[in-house]
Amino acid sequence: MVTQMEQTLDKFIKKNLNPEDLKQFNRIHYGREDHCELKFKESTFKTAGESNIDVAGYYFTANSEQVRSPRNVIVGLIQHSIVLPTDKTVSEQKDAIFHKINKIIDIAASEGVQILCLQESWYMPFFLCTREVEKWKEFAESATEGPVFKFLSPIAKKYKMVIISPILENENGTWWNTAVIIDEKGQYMGKHRKNHLPSVGSFSETSYYSPGNLGHAVFDTKYAKIAVNICYGRHQALNWLMFGLNGAEIVFNPAATISEFGESFWGIEARNAAIANAYFTCSINRVGTEDFFVIKNEKEERITRSYYGSSYITAPNGQRTPSLSRVRDGLLISKFDLNLCRQVKDQWGFNMTSRLDMYAMELILKTQT
Amino acid sequence: MVTQMEQTLDKFIKKNLNPEDLKQFNRIHYGREDHCELKFKESTFKTAGESNIDVAGYYFTANSEQVRSPRNVIVGLIQHSIVLPTDKTVSEQKDAIFHKINKIIDIAASEGVQILCLQESWYMPFFLCTREVEKWKEFAESATEGPVFKFLSPIAKKYKMVIISPILENENGTWWNTAVIIDEKGQYMGKHRKNHLPSVGSFSETSYYSPGNLGHAVFDTKYAKIAVNICYGRHQALNWLMFGLNGAEIVFNPAATISEFGESFWGIEARNAAIANAYFTCSINRVGTEDFFVIKNEKEERITRSYYGSSYITAPNGQRTPSLSRVRDGLLISKFDLNLCRQVKDQWGFNMTSRLDMYAMELILKTQT
């Protein structure tokens, strides 16, 4: 019931408050009275409507500066469900998702998206809840030579789009949960590997892949300095912090999280990170229900997991967009001036007052006792 | 206008949603469908009503355990406005606030509050916006021998209450922004000094007092292990983290923050800290409007600052209470089982997956370059 509920918190509000109350609610909850919607093309609504895709776009403004020109960028986030049942072949399942994503990227491109991020393990069902490997192992692939890279690379080139592609990586027999950065020429630019592996009650991903060994790289793309904090890593303040210290202007958080875990703080963590570190955060969560059939005690057992979508974006000043749908595929677009990052730092002083040297010492002492 | 608006975000919702929508809103926004209100005595509502005090109480539940008994505690937070105009004498202003607070503590005691926290610099107008010192300097006092300690000590003893008293401390000519912990026998137990000094646009407190030199102490009181993160310190993830690593079960955040700065993320930061560190956070913000008359360019100029109250409490599982009023004095009471802290850590695994050794090294490298 709850997981099928279409309404986001935002929708509840919009439909129930009178205009004056809505303004005040928005001021307190979103950080601004108006959502600042982007004007989309007719064709965008038409194509999205035909495919039942929730499209939404919002802009954030920055002040003009004397020395620096505005550095506007347009980002896009895609949240989507799987297409075929999970007992189809790996290739069938993957191709069906490729086909769907291709269409959504076309829409994104027509609205000028320059940096696009897909959800965690976007081309597969999130089978890690099954604890099985055999059936799924061909979903893990090379970051630079696998079918996913080969699918996205020409699209990135065609649209001059930087694409962040979260995959399961198999590198010489070791698995990683990896975000691959493809640059606007369609070339491999680098990758980030998930630093923190979930271990929530009986759910654990530790048997599938290794904790990230690539630190907190920031990728200086043509359009912005970006970083990726994969899913469960959003619970770790230090993970967010290091991306900020390394110069990130936008941090993407591609995720696959079910309603039973953390829907009430989905709107809290990435937003807090944006405020604390003065960068934009882009939160993407999977949607849809996935059924798996596993053999347990010689009997077939069904595992069902539902994801709540609700992708959203926060600016460094704490202003945020409404969320995409809880249940439908969606494309969220935002246009903003990256200069806002430094403007917020200069105004609020969180960086200047951070006393990092004190904390570095305290942490060293703490981890050695 | 905005600052005088009584309604919190919570009130907007309650008055506008139908019962079924309200449940779903609460589930997503507060982390639970029901607020779990505490049942207060008749006398509490009567006394509070007479003095126009917003009283509210909520409980949080934990599972029962085999080895440990429940460790229930009742905490109270007081938010209040000043009483007299800021041009009265220091003693007159202070005594008037003492008188008001005495009454509110009586109510808290009658509801069994065991740990009570007052707002930042609670016995004075928040004159730090004036940049003047001379007129105000007698508000700064000794942590253990000043009028504030002498006022609160017998009350703490009488009610067997631990009281956290945020003061401006003058120790041998050096000022600090300090939270004094008075134990349930009325004795001085220790103090914390604000680690991060605000520097927001033209507002700065750096000329008044020094950055805290007492680290991140946790006080093992009779009722709970507590710590204090004063006001602007809530913007620093590492500040919250260290209290957690040092074993805090409750972290209080006494503040004095105006609507123009951060009302939209007041509900984000302390709540995020509770989730990230698996402890309870108690957020207290001043209310009311304060007028100051300062001399600038040989002319008298008026400075007006309005505080938005909205005190609230978050549990380690991310569930939170509604906020107190934006404009009225208030007393927020909560009863909870401290065992919830470890239960959440064991369930969510944020501590176990934190890789602190990696971050300690990264921070050392970062601060030495």
pLDDT tens string A168-200: 999 999 999 999 999 999 999 999 999 999 988
Catalytically annotated residue among B94, B100, B120, B249: B120
pLDDT for A224 beyond 50: yes
B104, two tokens: 């509110």
Please judge whether B348 and A265 are an interchain contact, meaning their C-beta atoms are less than 8 angstroms apart.
Answer: no
What's the average model confidence in pLDDT over A140-152? 97
Q: Are A295 and A278 in contact (CB under 8 A)?
A: no
Residue A118, sorted as left (phi over 0), alpha (psi -120 to 50) or beta, turns out to be beta
Q: What is the pLDDT of residue B207?
A: 87
Cβ contact, residue pair A264, B7, below 8 Å: no
Q: A312 and A267 in contact (C-beta within 8 Å)? A: yes
> Which residues in chain A are contacts of B242 at CB distance < 8 A?
359, 362, 366
User: What is the per-residue pLDDT across B221-266, written as a single tens digit (0 to 9) for each?
Assistant: 999 999 999 999 999 999 999 999 999 999 999 999 998 888 999 9
Cβ contact (<8 Å) for A199 and B24? no
Residues A232-270: pLDDT tens digits? Answer: 999 999 999 999 999 999 999 999 999 888 899 999 999
Q: With beta carbons under 8 A apart, name residues in chain B contacting A2.
A: 24, 27
Which of B138, B239, B118 has the alpha carbon at shortest distance from B180? Answer: B118
Mean pLDDT of chain A: 95
Query: What is the mean pLDDT of the segment spanning B117-129?
Result: 97
A-chain residues within 8 Å CB-CB of B347?
A: 200-201
- Distance of alpha carbon A366 from alpha carbon A356, whole angstroms: 15
Per-residue model confidence (pLDDT) at position A244: 98
DSSP letter for each residue of B138-207: GG-B-TTTSHHHHHHHHHHHHHT-EEEEEEEEEETTEEEEEEEEE-TTS-EEEEEE-SS--EETTEE-TT
- At B13 the pLDDT is 77
Number of other CB atoms surrounding residue B110 within 10 Å: 14
Q: Which residue has the higher pLDDT, B9 or A205?
A: A205
d(C-alpha B264, C-alpha B367), whole Å = 31
A205 catalytic residue (yes or no): no
Q: Is the pLDDT of residue A12 over 80?
A: no
The string of pLDDT tens digits covering residues B64-96 is: 999 999 999 999 999 999 999 999 999 999 999
Residue pair A327/A316 in contact (Cβ under 8 Å)? The answer is no
**pLDDT value, residue A11:** 76
CB pair distance less than 8 Å for B240 and A240: no
Helix (H, G, I), strand (E, B) or coil at B342: helix
Quote the pLDDT of residue A107.
98
Is B65 an active-site residue? Answer: no
User: Measured in whole angstroms, how far is the alpha carbon of residue B107 from the centre of its chain?
Assistant: 18
pLDDT tens column, B32-72? 999 999 999 999 999 999 999 999 999 999 999 999 999 99
Best residue in A205, A265, A269 for a mutation probing chain B (most B CBs within 10 Å): A265
- Mean of pLDDT values over A336-364: 96
Q: Is the pLDDT of residue A3 over 60?
A: no
pLDDT digits (tens, 9 = 90+) for B134-151: 999 999 999 999 999 999
With a cut of 70, say whether residue B152 has pLDDT above it.
yes
Integer Cα distance of B325 and A243 in angstroms: 37
Asked if B215 lies within 8 A of A2 by C-beta distance, the reply is no
The shortest CB-CB distance from B9 to any of A5, A25, A240 is to A25
Interface predicted TM-score (ipTM)? 0.96
Task: Check whether B2 has a pLDDT greater than 60.
Answer: no
pLDDT confidence of residue B16:
77
| B314 to chain A: closest CA residue | A265
Range B2-367: architecture per CATH: 4-Layer Sandwich (3.60)
How far apart are the CA of B47 and the nearest CA of chain A, in angstroms? 31
User: What is the reported pLDDT for A1?
Assistant: 43
Q: What is the pLDDT of residue B99?
A: 98
Contacts of A355 in chain B (CB under 8 A): 195-196, 211, 236
Q: What is the pLDDT of residue B108?
A: 98
How close A335 gets to chain B, by Cα (Å)?
21
B120 is catalytic: yes
Residue B1, pLDDT > 60, answer no
Instruction: Single out the residue of A320, A309, A275 nearest to residue A27, CA to CA.
Output: A320
- Give residue-wise pLDDT tens across range A59-115: 999 999 999 999 999 999 999 999 999 999 999 999 999 999 999 999 999 999 999
**A176 vs B119: CA distance, rounded Å:** 47
Chain B positions touching A237 (Cβ under 8 A) are: 237-238, 240-241, 276
Strand B174-182, strand B162-171: pairing: antiparallel
**CA of A32 vs chain B CAs: smallest distance (Å):** 8
Residue B278: closest CA among chain A residues belongs to which residue? A235
Torsions phi, psi for A232 (to 5 deg): -55, -20
A2 pLDDT above the threshold of 70: no
pLDDT in tens, B293-346: 998 889 999 999 999 999 999 999 999 999 999 999 999 999 999 999 999 999
**Cα(A123)–Cα(A80) distance, rounded to whole angstroms?**
10
> Residue B97: is its pLDDT beyond 50?
yes
Distance from CA of B197 to the nearest CA of A (A): 7
Q: Whole-angstrom Cα distance, residue B252 to residue B231?
A: 9
State the pLDDT confidence band at B4, using cuts at 50, 70 and 90.
Answer: low
| Nearest chain A CA: its distance from B185 CA (Å) | 32
Does residue A120 carry a pLDDT above 90?
Answer: yes
Q: What is the pTM of this model?
A: 0.96
Per-residue pLDDT, averaged over A36-62, amounts to: 97
Please tell me the distance from the alpha carbon of residue B366 to that of residue A196, in angstroms, as a whole number.
21
Out of A9, A17, A237, the one facing B237 most closely (by C-beta) is A237
Mean pLDDT of all residues in chain B? 95
Query: Is the pLDDT score of B211 beyond 90?
Result: yes
Q: What residues of chain A lie within 8 A of the CB of B24, using their CB?
A: 2, 5, 7, 12
Distance CA B276, CA A235 (A): 6
Q: Give the span between the Cα atoms of A146 and A128, in whole angstroms.
A: 20
Q: How far apart are CA B128 and CA B123, in angstroms?
A: 13
Please pick, among A231, A269, A282, A335, the residue that the annotation labels catalytic.
A231
Chain B residues with CB under 8 Å of A353 CB are 196-199, 232, 236
> How, if at all, do strands A174-182 and A312-314 pair?
unpaired
pLDDT exceeds 50 at position B291: yes
**Can you state the angle between helices A147-159 and A90-110, rounded to 10 degrees?**
10
Of B29, B263, B276, the CB nearest to A237: B276
What is the predicted pLDDT for the residue at B204? 87
Element (H, E) at B53: none
Interface contact A17-B12, CB threshold 8 A? yes
Confidence class of residue B24 from pLDDT cuts 50, 70 and 90?
A: confident
Size of interface A-B (CB pairs under 8 A): 183
User: Are the Cβ atoms of B216 and A363 closer than 8 angstroms?
Assistant: no
Spatial CB neighbours of B139, under 8 Å, sequence gap ≥ 6: B90, B94, B121, B123, B124, B127, B168
Residues of chain A in contact with residue B198, where contact means CB-CB under 8 angstroms, are 349, 353
> Would you say B274 and B67 are in contact if contact means Cβ atoms under 8 Å apart?
no
Q: How confident is the model at residue A44, as a pLDDT?
A: 98
pLDDT above 80 for B107: yes
**Which of helix, strand or coil describes residue B137?**
helix
